[in-house]
Amino acid sequence: MVIHAKYCLCLLIVSLAACGGGTGGSPAADAQGASAPAAASPAASRPVILVIGTSLTAGYGLDPAQAWPAVIQRKVDSAGLGYRVVNAGVSGETSAGALRRADWVLQRERPAVLILETGGNDGLRGQDPDTLRGNILAIFERARRLEPAPRLVLMQMEAPPNLGDDYTRRFRAVYPAAAAAAGATLVPFFLVDVAGIDTLNLPDGIHPTPRGHELAAAAAWRYLEPVLR
């Protein structure tokens, strides 16, 4: 897979800014950006699709209702599938950070489906792909402890090629290997039609615009819909 050089340069420039957070969902925000209600409601009683992710999931720079999990919610509703999407994206988070909060958010939401979007910030920092793989598997292991255990989905991410061909190859190989080991559905790089395209990204060159999120959701939906059905 080829990632535009301009996109990769922007990845490096934005990485430190993203670490400090930004506009995006809180760990327990749902796809519309509101905290889960304390009182029971028809929406709250629906089975949960929990999305643990980074700024790409949180909707950095946008209203959370424009982020791809919210687009997935609209697709779910249109298909009459009856799930509630919970956006647990945190800007700047590495896979280690996702692992640290996994127990808390899994116990809170008790998902029927867990979607994990992580690793982009690991790649920005050149962290060991073997550690990334271990963190992904540990998160899925925590999910499997739930009763009933959720269905698992892993979003493929890509590393910037400036770290060399060997690192890029090892990083890319993490995802199919981890998905196979965990019995998860693998979603190929969902920004394939968005990354590196100026009109589909914010001025930082990495975080998608609302239209970019729509395209990313459409790419993911081809793999998510069969899981949900």
CA distance 18 to 125: 12
Is the CB of residue 70 less than 8 Å from the CB of residue 85? yes
Q: Could you tell me the sign of the dihedral formed by the alpha carbons of 202, 17, 117, 159, in that order?
A: positive
Is the CB of residue 53 less than 8 Å from the CB of residue 72? no
**Active-site pick, 55, 91, 122, 213:** 55
Q: Could you tell me the sign of the dihedral formed by the alpha carbons of 126, 128, 134, 135, in that order?
A: negative
**Active-site pick, 91, 122, 207, 213:** 207
204 noted as active-site residue: yes
> Where are any strands of DSSP class E within the chain?
48-53, 84-89, 113-116, 151-155, 185-187
CA distance 163 to 124: 9
55 noted as active-site residue: yes
In DSSP notation, 187-208 reads: EP-TTTTTTT-GGGB-TTSSSB
What CA–CA distances, in Å, run from 124 to 73, 109, 131? 29, 29, 14
Is the CB of residue 124 less than 8 Å from the CB of residue 12? yes
Active-site positions read 55, 204, 207
